[in-house]
Amino acid sequence: MSKQIGIAFVLILMIAACGGTATIAPTSAPEPTAAVETLTVGHQLFVTKGCAACHGQVGEGSAIAPALGATQGTK
């Protein structure tokens, strides 16, 4: 008997947990979260890893490498 009560208790907990977290608000668009520090770190990587040598300081491209973002992954 006590086992059945335990199972019922767990089920109630699961239902309560799902009801609490399953609320998705489709109306609110996500805020941009990339902090300036994050972008700075990314640019430092781009430069220190040598990407900038071919793709330019801001990915504008050069005679030997395409501008980054220009093809949007279609190539």
Binding interface with ligand HEC (CB under 6 A): 49-51, 53-55, 64-66, 68, 70-71, 75
- What is the 8-class DSSP label of residue 64? S
Using the minimum distance from each CB to ligand HEC, give the nearer residue, 2 or 74. Answer: 74
Q: Quick one: 3 or 75, whose CB is closer to ligand HEC?
A: 75
- Least CB distance to ligand HEC at residue 43 (A): 11
State in angstroms the smallest separation of the CB of 59 from ligand HEC: 8
Rounded CA separation 17/14 (Å) = 5
| Cα-Cα-Cα-Cα dihedral sign, residues 3, 7, 12, 17 | positive
Nearest to 56 by CA among 45, 70, 48, 68: 68
CB closer to ligand HEC, 11 vs 47: 47
